[in-house]
Structure 1
Amino acid sequence: MPIIKSISGIRGTLGEKMGEGLDPVLIVQYCLAFATLLKTENKKKITVVVGRDGRVSGEIFESLVVSAMRAAGADVIQTGYTTTPTLEMAVIMSKADAGIILTASHNPANWNALKFFNKNGEFISPETGKKLLELIEKNDFICADEKNLGSISYDDTFMHKHVEAVLNLPIINKKAIADAGFFVVADVINSTGGLILPILFDALNVKYKIINNSDYGKFAHNPEPLPQHLTELSSEVVANKADLGISVDPDVDRLALICENGEMFGEEYTLVAAADFVLSHKIGNTVSNLSSSQALKDITLQKGGKYYASAVGEVNVVNKMKEVDAVIGGEGNGGVIYPELHYGRDAV
């Protein structure tokens, strides 16, 4: 399979010939290049947050990332298992200079990827991504001497802090949710959704059943949240008479819902439903990419706001949201971005 290089990172399949997939050499090169950029721009000791989703290859690749960043002189805060939105928030909470997560999102288990974030916990800009690729092409990296190697610390508290930040949002009525007596079934596909969703449900007094939460990294089905991949979740919702079925992808930045009758709500309507709720509390502008449903535009205009379309790609959606001061935005793949929390897709 080909390697897919983009401005926000690199992804590819495992087990290929060197240079034809995601291999250890590429991972080290990308990390050294990223550290070089950070050191060049900051002119000081830098700190980077590093984490991974539940993929089997994640532990090995994470060790490479941590070692490469420390060899370049960066201090590392290692989270271990995490979600993409949690790592984005961890960068902000720890006041780090950047973040790196190992996740190939909705791609199958034989894929993995490096995704890079700036000090705001957002995907690096196209300009930074271009500089990163230029350094890799030139093999031009800065490494530290023995007196300036980076340190390492461990912090596994960020998921709890992430959930706490969500629940402290003024728009969230914790009492109403707790009093409703909801029962939900969640498919976490043997990845880190199985760690963060129980924290959320317990805090909201929501009863729940988690499926596919045992053999981490061995995905129970194709991670893409399409109806044909969520038949088990649909059956469990009906069998357990649940109020809702919840499906998250391996790094928990996309959300798809199953109705109480077992029918799929459709990931393209996740953002629409969230926007309907947000706009009911605060009228404002919305943004989605050009591949998203027309429904977001319709409901935004109905509520009295203005809708704007962006180019495809999370970084483009975020930039447009900032430009038009959007109250909510995202993508038609189940990715919701709520600026009151942070500028990143977040299923939590």
Structure 2
Amino acid sequence: MSLMISVSGIRGIVGESLTPTNLTAFATAFASWAETRKKEREPGAISQKPHIIIGRDTRPTGEAITGLVQSALVLSGCNVTDIGIATTPTVELAVTEEKADGGLIITASHNPVQWNALKMLNHRGEFLDKEDVDELTRIASAPNPKSARWDNIGTATKTSRHDALHIEKILALPFIHTEEIKKAKFRVLVDCVEGAGYAIVPDLCRELGIAEVIPFACGGTGIFPRNPEPIEENLQDTIAALKKSGADFALVVDPDVDRLALISEDGSLFGEEYTLVACADYYLKVRPGTVANNLSSSRALKDIASRYGQECFSAEVGEANVTRLMKKHHAVIGGEGNGGVILPELHYGRDALAAIAMAVQAFAYWQKSHPEEPLSRFRLEFPNYEMSKQKIDLTPEGKERLPEIFEAIARSYPAAQSDTRDGLKLDFPESWVHLRPSNTEPIVRIYSEAQTREKAETLADDIRQAIEQHATGA
């Protein structure tokens, strides 16, 4: 498998596609890129050494990769601050708080434990866009990588203050009312899949006023007890633990804590798609404005925006793409249907910690007029759609033929509105299907949505068959 390079960073299997050689190449390339950008922003600065923030999740390979990358940066003339095990949104906040010139997060997010990655941030604590990634790749591929003279290398320091700072900033949001949450006396199971949220998520929950926090997979070992992507098929043990505990609901995050899934008291999934929907519905009550998601996200967000007389815009999949669209349309809240919520009032990055605060606050607010009603009943307040998420493994030949395959499929559905900005999305009056190559895995994802699960799966199955037929020439 080749190294995956995208706006989500560079990602691969450690010891196979992700090696010391390419980690060093991209770290030194990032140092060069950050220095150039710093000189452009601050031409008269006394020091031209870029300041880079580094954080990591709990994967067993994370500490060694951090040491390698940090050394490469220091030898390239960067001053590095290592904030240790930290969530992706915490690193994003640390970049802006420290007025740093960039950030690197050693995490492969929802990928299995053998994967790791470098997620790359600019001086605003935001993911690099495609143009910057292309430039970084060009620098990494060039001979003679940047290296500082012996008397001009950078420094390396450590700090652990940013978890508390992140929680403090969330609690200071004007629409978070901890006294209201305390009155609800919630008992909540927290599943951090042994990832970077193992300490900060329970701490945040207690600070929010949750009466009892029941930790599950919160040891921080980095050995994921299941596939870490927080989808239904991977959460059966969590559901069983929730039912056994008698908790009011469960909060589930991925290893780097930029995605949030909720499980209702009866074991039913609230739905990753509905994390953003519920947060946006509450937020628009206090601050109306446009919203944004990606092309693979539920129509429910558009329906919620319409309730408040607002528009909903959709970007190509990828946090950097959604962020750019949010800025263009001055969206007050946005994110992706995988449980990622972006709140510009806090920072421009998917933040499961902010999503936890908003979702818990929204539920507590709703319970004031629906005393003792459970989360499963709260879920019924939102427009109901069912989604099917499938995937097809790609061969190298199949990947090369995707454009012509997508074009042929679009011709097969002339009644659908076609969008080719990101793979192929076909929009029907009462349903849609989105086909796109993954940025992080060698697959094509097939997302479909309709008013019933049967209709969504039928649409996805039809499209899957069409892809297979065109791929084989049948």
**TM-score band, normalised by shorter chain:** over 0.9
Partner of 2:447: none
Q: How far off is 1:15 after superposition? A: 2.9
TM superposition score normalised by structure 1: 0.97
Is residue 251 of structure 2 the alignment partner of residue 258 of structure 1?
Answer: no
User: How far did 1:291 drift?
Assistant: 0.4
Work out the number of aligned pairs and report it: 344
SS of aligned partner of 1:104: coil
Report the TM-score, using the length of structure 2 for normalisation: 0.71
Matched, 1:227 2:232: yes
Quote the offset at 1:59 in angstroms: 0.5
- The runs of 5 or more residues in structure 1 that have no matched partner are none
In structure 2, stretches of 5+ residues that fail to align are 40-47, 354-474
Q: Provide the identity percentage.
A: 44
Look up the match of 1:73.
77
How many Å separate the matches in 2 of 1:111 and 1:84?
A: 16
Query: SS state of the match for residue 352, structure 2?
Result: coil
Q: Deviations over 1:237-266 (max 9, x none)?
A: 222221110110000000000001111111
Give CA deviations for 1:273-319 in whole Å, capped at 9, x if unaligned.
11111011121100000000000001101111111111111101000
Offset, 1:141 = 2.4
The match for 1:305 is 310
- Distance (whole Å) between structure 2 residues aligned to residue 8 and residue 233 of structure 1: 28
Contact 2:8–2:318 (CA under 8 A) maintained in structure 1: no
Letter in 2 for 1:306: E
**Hey, what does 1:24 align to over in structure 2?**
20
Give, in whole Å, the separation in 2 of the partners of 1:234 and 1:263: 8
Aligned equivalents of 2:8 and 2:242: distance in 1? 36
- Give the whole-Å Cα distance in 1 for the aligned partners of 2:315 and 2:205: 33
Give the structure 2 partner of residue 2 of structure 1.
2
Q: What stretches of structure 1 move > 2 A for 4+ residues in a row? A: none
Is 1:8–1:129's contact at 8 Å kept on the other side of the alignment? no
Superposed CA RMSD: 1.1
Deviation at 1:13, TM superposition (A): 0.6
Higher mean alpha-carbon deviation, 135-144 vs 170-179, is at 135-144
Pick aligned residue for 2:86 from 79, 82, 87 = 82
Q: Give the deviation of 1:9 after TM superposition.
A: 2.0
CA distance in 1, matches of 2:301, 2:143: 45
62-71 vs 140-149, greater mean Cα deviation: 140-149
Deviation digits for residues 93-145 of structure 1, max 9, x if unmatched?
Answer: 11111000000000000100001001110001222111101111213422111
Aligned counterpart, 1:153: 157
- What's 2:132 paired with? 128
**Structure 1 equivalent of residue 14 of structure 2:** 14
SS in structure 2 of the partner of residue 344 of structure 1: strand
Tell whether the 8 Å contact from 2:58 to 2:220 is kept in structure 1 after alignment.
no
Q: Aligned partner of 1:33: which letter?
A: A
Distance in 1, Cα, partners of 2:254 & 2:309: 33
Q: 1:176 aligns with which of 174, 180, 205?
A: 180
Q: Deviations over 1:55-100 (max 9, x none)?
A: 1100000001110100001000001100000000000111111000
* CA shift for structure 1 position 179: 2.1
Secondary structure of 1:11's counterpart equals strand
Q: Deviations along 1:184-243, whole A, 9 cap, x unmatched?
A: 001111111111112202212311111112261110000111111111221222222211
SS at match of 1:326: coil
- Matches of 2:344 and 2:305 in 1, distance apart? 17
* Higher relative contact order, chain-length normalized (CA < 8 Å, sep 6+): 1
The 5-angstrom pairing of residues 1-348 of structure 1 reads: 1-16=1-16, 21-43=17-39, 44-206=48-210, 207-214=212-219, 216-348=221-353
CA distance in 1, matches of 2:274, 2:209: 26
